[in-house]
């Protein structure tokens, strides 16, 4: 089989004009960005407002190995599979960040015969969205420091500001900085930091905004610090939110591209799944549901993080609920959770006992997803060399659990390899014509109870513990009136627990909350369990060293 990059670069692309015709978009609804990408204007929502919505399919996963289990691949493959069986699908995905593109090789756009293209555009700059986000973020930072420097009328406490700067780069030297040095004309010295743009609250806001007005409203609510009386100072107090919305005026429009099999793909926003909720945009889903009968979307990390947040934060905000949940599993991840290393798990090592032990992780995720009362299909992403008896065992296990199962070969065969999953998914959506609207906690519950509910019902903890810093900040946010927000838990993606070394389905542990942060614009409290890496570094040999472009503009070495 060809390498993924070769497949992507050799693939014939349909002109965006073709998609405009197929999707009934006209010049007023669409802006070209080159021949093979474009942005859909938000006025399509008005144009198609009388159309019934398509069905939303949420793709999530068991706890992944460090290698990743192919959630994006499965989403793309499933959309192609749906097309193969005669349906009208669309796939809605997150945008990649440039930082990691320069760091460690590995595409953020699927793989094999289940990819979105043109991958050079998608992985580099992608119609300017992430740069607009960095600019909006840094405009607010500049206006904050400028306000302090020019007299500080809002009486902002310079020792307690919350807003840092952002750059879409893997640059560890920017994690901890001092800014404003160089004497009086160069500002007020203070400690600061940079995060990678995908971790910016503005990325979460873009993903959750339901209109331009809502975007502006949310930007205005961002808390940048406190005044010396302890009251919150917001972006709108600095009059920054409107200009930030101006900066994001194009970024708010979802980007249209295509899969290798010409399924339309909307790629829009890419918030992290720890500090934020980890899904592509609500506007992308809303528009997608008007343009297609089935919209396949994915949530970041494992189902304990991504899917829980999708229901409790995203669906609660958008009131769009999935008709089916696709839970991605791999033989590799199951063996990994049975106790093997990733390398062992990949290399055909066969031990039924290990496999049974590893299935406990999948069991926990299935049980978790059942709480949302949405039909579930386990999608086994097949790798070359996977054993048939192991695949069979997963089918049997799912039957025992009372959920559907379908192995797929989206990587090796594209949509043709995902028709079983497509059919089963369609059947599930047919059986669920009025999707349930289930969230795990009510907003007016005390924050501690919300945390306890997720910790015990989803992660398998038997208790929670809030460290002093967390308690102090939580008390402050409650006092300021933010206690009614949903919660966004930031913990390791490598375990159902908050300890990345615990595989399988850990029990009898206490979830330790180390800190609480406020994302008032995005509209949630970030409950931090352990460390969060918000600015990655480059490896010793960055992937950037292998990239090149020739005199005709043809790029090589991007993956």
Residues making up the annotated binding site for ATP are 65-72
Q: Is 372 exposed, middle or buried (0-12, 13-18, 19+ CB in 10 A)?
A: buried
Which of helix, strand or coil describes residue 97? coil
| Binding test (CB under 8 A) with a second copy, winner from 171, 390, 448, 467 | 171
Site for a second copy in 496-555 (CB under 8 A): 537-540, 542, 544-545, 547-553, 555
The nearer residue to a second copy, 502 or 543, going by C-beta atoms, is 543
Paired tokens of 242 = 């409107």
The nearer residue to a second copy, 1 or 549, going by C-beta atoms, is 549
| Binding test (CB under 8 A) with a second copy, winner from 167, 222, 505, 529 | 167
Q: Is residue 20 a contact residue for a second copy (CB under 8 A)?
A: no
Please work out the total of residues on this chain that contact a second copy, with binding judged by CB under 8 A.
Answer: 83
Q: Are 461 and 505 in contact (CB under 8 A)?
A: no
User: Distance between CA atoms of 518 and 535, rounded to whole angstroms?
Assistant: 19
User: Distance between CA atoms of 36 and 175, rounded to whole angstroms?
Assistant: 36
Site for a second copy in 133-152 (CB under 8 A): 134-135, 138-139, 141-143, 145-146, 149-151
Contacts of 299 (CB under 8 A, 6+ apart): 58, 59, 60, 273, 277, 278, 279, 305, 306, 307, 309, 310
Site for a second copy in 38-97 (CB under 8 A): 41-43
Which residues sit in the known binding site? 65-72
Site for a second copy in 172-191 (CB under 8 A): 172-182, 185-188, 190
Q: Are 290 and 53 in contact (CB under 8 A)?
A: yes
Distance of closest approach, residue 263 Cβ to a second copy, in angstroms: 23
Contacts of 524 (CB under 8 A, 6+ apart): 204, 277, 313, 485, 486, 487, 488
Distance of closest approach, residue 372 Cβ to a second copy, in angstroms: 33
| Binding test (CB under 8 A) with a second copy, winner from 40, 108, 169, 488 | 169
Distance of closest approach, residue 5 Cβ to a second copy, in angstroms: 13
Q: Is 351 exposed, middle or buried (0-12, 13-18, 19+ CB in 10 A)?
A: middle
Closest CA to 390 of 355, 361, 419, 357: 355
Site for a second copy in 434-473 (CB under 8 A): none
- Spell out, one character per residue from 100 to 129, where the chain touches a second copy: x when CB under 8 A holds, - when not: --x-----------------x---xx-xx-
Site for a second copy in 192-211 (CB under 8 A): 192, 211
The nearer residue to a second copy, 153 or 319, going by C-beta atoms, is 153
Distance of closest approach, residue 495 Cβ to a second copy, in angstroms: 22
- The pairing of strands 255-259 and 264-267 is antiparallel
Site for a second copy in 480-499 (CB under 8 A): none
Residue 257 phi/psi, 5° resolution?
-135, -160
| Binding test (CB under 8 A) with a second copy, winner from 27, 50, 384, 444 | 27
The nearer residue to a second copy, 146 or 500, going by C-beta atoms, is 146
Q: Are 228 and 303 in contact (CB under 8 A)?
A: no
Distance of closest approach, residue 279 Cβ to a second copy, in angstroms: 23
Distance of closest approach, residue 545 Cβ to a second copy, in angstroms: 4
User: Distance between CA atoms of 263 and 268, rounded to whole angstroms?
Assistant: 16
Distance of closest approach, residue 214 Cβ to a second copy, in angstroms: 9
Closest CA to 348 of 405, 388, 394, 392: 388
User: Distance between CA atoms of 83 and 102, rounded to whole angstroms?
Assistant: 34
Paired tokens of 310 = 């999708």
The nearer residue to a second copy, 64 or 225, going by C-beta atoms, is 225
The nearer residue to a second copy, 142 or 438, going by C-beta atoms, is 142
Q: How far apart are the first and last CA of the chain?
A: 16
The nearer residue to a second copy, 446 or 539, going by C-beta atoms, is 539
The nearer residue to a second copy, 64 or 99, going by C-beta atoms, is 99
The nearer residue to a second copy, 46 or 388, going by C-beta atoms, is 46
Distance of closest approach, residue 31 Cβ to a second copy, in angstroms: 5
The nearer residue to a second copy, 147 or 491, going by C-beta atoms, is 147
| Binding test (CB under 8 A) with a second copy, winner from 47, 88, 105, 131 | 131
Distance of closest approach, residue 186 Cβ to a second copy, in angstroms: 5
The nearer residue to a second copy, 187 or 339, going by C-beta atoms, is 187
Helices (H), 188-330: 201-208, 212-221, 241-247, 282-291, 306-309, 316-318
Stretch that binds a second copy, among 167-175, 292-300, 429-437, 439-447 (CB under 8 A): 167-175
Stretch that binds a second copy, among 37-45, 331-339, 343-351, 499-507 (CB under 8 A): 37-45
User: Distance between CA atoms of 40 and 28, rounded to whole angstroms?
Assistant: 9
User: Distance between CA atoms of 244 and 237, rounded to whole angstroms?
Assistant: 13
> CA 188, 194, 197, 198: dihedral to nearest 10 degrees?
-130
Helices (H), 431-515: 447-454, 468-479
Distance of closest approach, residue 172 Cβ to a second copy, in angstroms: 5
Paired tokens of 319 = 């009131």
Residue 141 phi/psi, 5° resolution?
-65, -45
Whether the bond into 118 is cis, omega within 30 of 0: yes
Site for a second copy in 230-259 (CB under 8 A): 239-240, 242-243, 245-247, 249-250, 252
């Amino acid at each position: 089989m060809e390498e993924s990059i070769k497949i992507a670069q050799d693939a014939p692309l349909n002109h965006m004009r073709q998609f405009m015709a197929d999707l009934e978009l006209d010049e007023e609804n669409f802006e070209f960005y080159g021949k093979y990408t474009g942005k859909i204007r938000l006025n399509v929502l008005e144009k198609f407002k009388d159309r019934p919505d398509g069905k939303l399919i949420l793709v999530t996963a068991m706890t992944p190995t460090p290698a990743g289990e192919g959630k994006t691949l499965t989403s793309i493959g499933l959309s192609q599979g749906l097309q193969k069986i005669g349906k009208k699908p669309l796939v809605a995905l997150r945008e990649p960040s440039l930082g990691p593109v320069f760091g460690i090789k590995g595409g953020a756009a699927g793989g094999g015969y289940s990819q979105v293209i043109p991958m050079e555009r998608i992985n580099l700059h992608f119609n300017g969205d992430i740069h607009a986000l960095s600019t909006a973020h840094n405009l607010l930072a500049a206006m904050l420091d400028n306000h302090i420097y020019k007299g500080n009328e809002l009486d902002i406490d310079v020792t307690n500001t919350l807003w840092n700067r952002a750059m879409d780069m893997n640059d560890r030297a920017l994690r901890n900085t001092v800014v404003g040095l160089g004497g009086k004309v160069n500002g007020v010295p203070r400690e600061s930091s940079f995060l990678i743009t995908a971790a910016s609250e503005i990325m979460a806001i873009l993903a959750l905004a339901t209109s331009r007005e809502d975007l502006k409203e949310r930007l205005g609510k961002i808390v940048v610090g406190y005044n010396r009386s302890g009251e919150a100072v917001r972006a709108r107090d600095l009059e920054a939110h409107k200009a930030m919305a101006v900066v994001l005026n194009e970024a708010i429009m979802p980007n249209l591209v295509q899969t290798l099999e010409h399924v339309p793909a909307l790629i829009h926003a890419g918030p992290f799944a720890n500090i934020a909720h980890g899904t592509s945009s609500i506007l992308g889903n809303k528009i997608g549901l008007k343009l297609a009968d089935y919209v396949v979307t994915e949530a970041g990390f494992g189902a304990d993080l991504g899917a829980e947040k999708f229901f409790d934060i995203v669906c609660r905000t958008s009131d769009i609920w999935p008709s089916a949940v696709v839970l991605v599993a791999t033989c590799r991840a199951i063996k990994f959770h049975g106790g093997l290393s990733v390398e062992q798990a990949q290399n055909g090592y066969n031990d039924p006992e290990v496999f049974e032990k590893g299935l406990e992780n999948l069991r926990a995720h299935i049980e978790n997803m059942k709480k949302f009362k949405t039909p579930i299909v386990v999608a086994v992403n097949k790798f070359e060399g996977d054993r048939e008896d192991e695949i069979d065992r997963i089918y049997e296990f799912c039957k025992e659990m009372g959920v559907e199962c379908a192995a797929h070969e989206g990587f090796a065969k594209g949509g043709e390899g995902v028709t079983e999953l497509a059919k089963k998914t369609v059947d599930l959506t047919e059986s669920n014509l009025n999707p349930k609207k289930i969230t795990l906690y009510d907003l007016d519950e005390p924050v501690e109870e919300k945390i306890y509910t997720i910790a015990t019902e989803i992660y398998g903890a038997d208790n929670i513990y809030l460290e002093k810093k967390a308690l102090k900040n939580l008390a402050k946010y409650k006092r300021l009136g933010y206690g009614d927000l949903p919660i966004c838990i930031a913990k390791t993606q490598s375990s159902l627990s908050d300890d990345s070394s615990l595989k399988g389905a850990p029990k009898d542990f206490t979830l330790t909350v180390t800190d609480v942060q406020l994302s008032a614009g995005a509209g949630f409290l970030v409950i931090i369990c352990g460390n969060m890496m918000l600015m990655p570094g480059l490896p010793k040999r960055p992937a950037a060293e292998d990239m090149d472009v020739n005199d005709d503009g043809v790029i090589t070495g991007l993956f």
